[in-house]
Amino acid sequence: MKVRGPGETPGSLWVKSSLSYANGNCVEVASMPGGAVGVRNSRDSAGPVLRFTPDEWRAFLGGVRNGEFDGFTR
């Protein structure tokens, strides 16, 4: 995972979950050049972007699907 600074993701189509809170506290995800996946704070679209390789992203989603992170929401 790499952290990117502001303005390093021109032209990316960012997607926010339909389950996001009305107050805007959510993250957005976008496909990045080279197959990477970008994640950013939806309230700071010009801020830093976390950039994951496809393998890192698949591993994270697999952990989410397996409930490995459920304890963080309690």
Residues 6+ apart with CB under 8 A from 30: 9, 12, 13, 14, 15, 37, 38, 40
Q: State pLDDT tens for residues 12-37.
A: 789 987 777 666 678 899 999 889 99
Q: State pLDDT tens for residues 57-74.
A: 999 999 999 999 998 866
Hey, where are the domains in the chain? 26-68
Element (H, E) at 40: strand 37-41
Contact, 39 vs 57, CB < 8 A?
A: no
pTM for the structure as a whole: 0.74
Judge whether residue 7 has pLDDT over 50.
no
